[in-house]
Amino acid sequence: MERNGLIDIGSNTIRLVIFEFDHDTGLNEIQNIKTPARLSQYLDDAGHMQEEGIHVLITALQSFKKVAEAFHVSSLYPIATAAIRQSTNREAILEAVKNKVGIDVILILEEDEAFYGSYAVTHTTDIQDGVTVDIGGGSTELTYFKNKKIKHAISFPFGVVTLTRMFFDGKPHNDKEALKKMEKFLKKSFSKAEWIVDKKVTLIGIGGSARNCARIHQSLRQYPIAGVHGYTMGQDDLSQVYETLKSYSRDELANLDGLSRDRMDIIVPAVVVFNVLYDMIQATSFTFSRKGIREGFIMHQIAKSKLGEFKKEQVQQDALRHLANEYKIEPTGALQRQKLAEELLEQLEVQGKLSVDTVVKQRFLQAAYLYYLGKFIDSDSSSQHTYYIIANSSINGLSHKERVRLALLTSFKNKSLLKQYSDETQWFTEDEVNEIQALGGIIKFVNALNISNTNTVNQLSLNIDSEPYELSVYYQGEPIAEIYQSNRQKKHIEKILKNKLDIQFIKK
């Protein structure tokens, strides 16, 4: 277990994030604090950062350094982006920080800022082709990746703070003329990145402004589950957020759910950027990534010393392995349950009793491994805890709907609880719920076939030519508990078969 601290010195905020990393449980954020420093407002017309701005920076860094020491971080990375990068006196700023705080600030170049943001997206989502937009206070980075490989990257010297100053100085956030001028400016600026035009891929938003946009939309929809990583919106959804922001007065914005108070005066430029890009790209969707430059930087540092970590080809697998380890899933029994579940499903498919597509089968096998992980909290309410944990956890590589599907399968106990859980989101059709019930029943049944966790059962054979149907269960050892429990749970398989089932335990 190691701890790394990262101080992100942005144009709008300065933030300290402390990460804990372990191979078994992955990268986890254990502390996250910020101060809205707005460093870009201390740059004069010549790009010189004033002494007041340097003092704000040094005060924040001194405080965050003490916090990092209290958390016993092994490495502390202070990284600086546009506000320092664009300062004509940046060398003097870095020297002042070194003398007063005793740390060396790492100046992130434009292309590196784009790289780290894109690195985080490609290593924490399953999006293969996309355009990322990371709009900070003083700069905006765009990247285009295909098959998870970066093809183009560009940085623009404007962000939410500078756009606000350029177009809304002394004007309300919804001034029509200012909005029109800003939109025209953005279209002209982004046209320099001709490689984004009509790409027809996902637009991925990174950073605090994108997070606020997603949260505002979730509040407008009364979104039923937690988390914004992987949250997806369409063009109409983005337009809805934009129209809502324009229709609200400044006082009303203060009470808008999902909008941070320190972003009230800068959120509109960000949402305009997202809308303009969506239109230029002809995007298929707008997805928010909670993982950006900070996570990308730390992941890249760890990957350099620990080869094999953070493989972009196996985002889902690693995320679910980390989740299983966090909740102490016993791997031998979990693999046995997964093996038996796959074997029984294949036989049901061969017999024409079920037909499951590839994605749903993948989710089914993942659920078989993670089944009832909520017992880690309380075995008497395993189903409830399992559903809540998975449905409301940020799981890399899974869309929100697929996360809930996994939660429904992993927590399956009976039809009434399944209906109760699925009614919370109402995302699944009646046929999908019936399919989840059937697959959840298989998992519950094979769990009964290894209820003693001794892996006594090693093969299954389904025969539907007999009456009743017959399931031969081949075993070694003493399956007394398995005989009792499987006969209690065979009703789930009988429902799929639409016939009675006789279970024969045969010693191998």
Condensed to tens digits (0 to 9), the pLDDT of residues 182-203 reads 999 999 999 999 999 999 999 9
Q: What CATH number is given to the structural domain containing 347?
A: 1.10.3210.10
Using the 3D structure, point to which of 108, 123, 148 is the last residue of a domain. 108
- Total domain count for the chain? 3
Through-space distance between the first and last CA atoms of the chain, rounded to whole angstroms: 44
Q: Within this chain, do residues 288 and 336 fall inside the same structural domain, yes or no?
A: no
Q: Is residue 302 part of a domain?
A: no
Using the 3D structure, point to which of 86, 108, 130 is the last residue of a domain. 108
Q: Is residue 297 part of a domain?
A: no
Give tens-digit pLDDT for 330-377.
999 999 999 999 999 999 999 999 999 999 999 999 999 999 999 999
Kind plus residue range of the DSSP H or E element containing 161: helix 160-167
How would residue 403 be classed by pLDDT, with cut points 50, 70 and 90? very high
Q: Which domain holds residue 249?
A: 111-292
Kind plus residue range of the DSSP H or E element containing 202: strand 202-206
Q: Which residues pair with 3 in a beta bridge?
A: 20
Q: Within this chain, do residues 463 and 368 fall inside the same structural domain, yes or no?
A: yes
Using the 3D structure, point to which of 83, 108, 133 is the last residue of a domain. 108
CA atoms within 13 A on the CB side of 174: 14
Count Cβ neighbours within 10 Å for each residue of 415-439 and write b for 16 or more, e otherwise: eebbeebbeebeebeeeebebbbbb
Q: Within this chain, do residues 171 and 185 fall inside the same structural domain, yes or no?
A: yes
Q: How far apart are CA 4 and CA 412, in angstroms?
A: 38
- What's the pLDDT at 262? 87
Q: What CATH number is given to the structural domain containing 174?
A: 3.30.420.150
Give tens-digit pLDDT for 101-130.
999 999 999 999 999 999 999 999 999 999
DSSP characters over 253-271: HTT-TT--GGGTTTHHHHH
In degrees rounded to 5, what are phi and psi of residue 369? -70, -40
Averaged pLDDT for residues 302-316: 93
Q: Within this chain, do residues 55 and 147 fall inside the same structural domain, yes or no?
A: no
Q: Within this chain, do residues 222 and 139 fall inside the same structural domain, yes or no?
A: yes
Q: Quick one: DSSP state of residue 308?
A: T
Q: Within this chain, do residues 419 and 368 fall inside the same structural domain, yes or no?
A: yes
- What's the pLDDT at 41? 87
Q: Within this chain, do residues 100 and 184 fall inside the same structural domain, yes or no?
A: no
Q: Within this chain, do residues 38 and 134 fall inside the same structural domain, yes or no?
A: no
Q: Is the pLDDT of residue 307 over 90?
A: no
Q: How far apart are CA 432 and CA 74, in angstroms?
A: 48
Q: Within this chain, do residues 228 and 375 fall inside the same structural domain, yes or no?
A: no
Mean residue pLDDT of the chain comes to 96
